[in-house]
Structure 1
Amino acid sequence: MWHIFEQSLSYVMEQELKESSRPLSDNQRRVAVSGWRMVASFIVVQMEIGFYNSDDSGAMNISSQNKRASKVEVVDSVGCCRF
């Protein structure tokens, strides 16, 4: 479910970039798409942390760790994120 949300958000932002009034170069578009993918991944990671680390009352359990938080790697030399 999280992965579908992440892909959907990335797709919507890619479509927005295609329809932007200011044309972007290929490199600018690639960097922008990578940035939105990173934002989508961050949102999903935070949602997962909140979902898996909450108790029955919905309160966060800060002491437990989510291993997926390290999913996004550092940007590469052209500014694109690797997932």
Structure 2
Amino acid sequence: MFDFLSGSVAFGFLVAALFFLRFWKRTDDGLFLAFAIAFGLLGLGQAVQALANIPHEEREYIFLIRLLAFSVLIAAIFRKNRAAKQ
């Protein structure tokens, strides 16, 4: 059951990535591209967790993928806010 739910969550992340990618193509706004990349990374991390059967003690590398995704979001929001002030 856990594998099925993890796959569903991974699919949801990838659908959200495609959703933001479509808006990026329409508006050419870098924030939408950052959200697409971040959701793609989150989907990748969730899929790796579901498919690799990694023991709980060795899952810290998966959290690095999530850290990268959230770092992309923070950097994009910071860049967008900095550009708005200038």
* Greater Rg by CA: 1
Q: Which protein has the bigger helix share? A: 2
- What TM-score do you get using the length of structure 1 for normalisation? 0.49
Normalised to the residue count of structure 2, the TM-score between the two structures is 0.48
